[in-house]
Structure 1
Amino acid sequence: MATKEVRDVDPYAAVESLRTALTEVGIVFPSLRVDAASPDLKLVELGRIHADVADRLAIALRRGGLE
């Protein structure tokens, strides 16, 4: 399995980018945010989602976001 290069990405920009991309395919993660408890790790909190949202996300990913 190949490893991917880790890029230095601003977590706040990443959250907004992900929120926009998800919104474009009709998916909302209400608890999507930067994890303030670990700023040095630059973690993004996706939170819990309903099973139907997880299913729609999987479908959108498989389709490349095109519906």
Structure 2
Amino acid sequence: MAGNERARHSIACVEEAEDAVNSLRAALKRSGVTLPSLRLDPASYARDVPCALVELGRCNVDTVRMIAAALPREGQRTS
């Protein structure tokens, strides 16, 4: 990959990851769940051709239970 092509790829990856994080944050919020450390993982930028990873972070047991309750149960269909 040439330098400019790499830069465009990296920017696209970061933008896509930011969109995904924002979508997840909004969906969790609709379910009453907040993950304070939900963010892009800064260490994932250290690669030669960075492509962001998402850090979901640590959360307490109550938050884990809220996430589990917000997800479809086994056998349930999602729209």
Shared fold (TM-score greater than 0.5)?
Answer: yes
Counterpart secondary structure, 1:49: coil
Identity of aligned residues (%): 46
* CA RMSD of superposed structures (Å): 2.0
Q: TM-score, normalised by structure 2?
A: 0.63
Query: Secondary structure of 1:38's match?
Result: helix
In the alignment, the residues of structure 1 paired with residue 52 and residue 16 of structure 2 have an alpha-carbon distance, to the nearest angstrom, of 7
- The structure richer in helix per residue is 2
Matched, 1:51 2:61: yes
Regions of 4+ moved over 2 Å: 39-42
1:12-66 deviation per Cα after TM superposition (whole angstroms, max 9, x unaligned)? 11110000000000000000000121133421001100101101100100268xx
Q: Which runs of 5+ in 1 are unaligned?
A: 1-7
**SS of 1:22 mapped into structure 2:** helix
Larger radius of gyration: 2
Counterpart pick for 2:32 among 1, 19, 26: 26
Equivalent residue pairs, number: 57
Distance of 1:54 and 1:43 partners within structure 2: 21
Corresponding position of 2:20: 14
- Which residue identity lines up with residue 44 of structure 1 in the other structure? V
- TM-score normalised by structure 1 residue count: 0.74
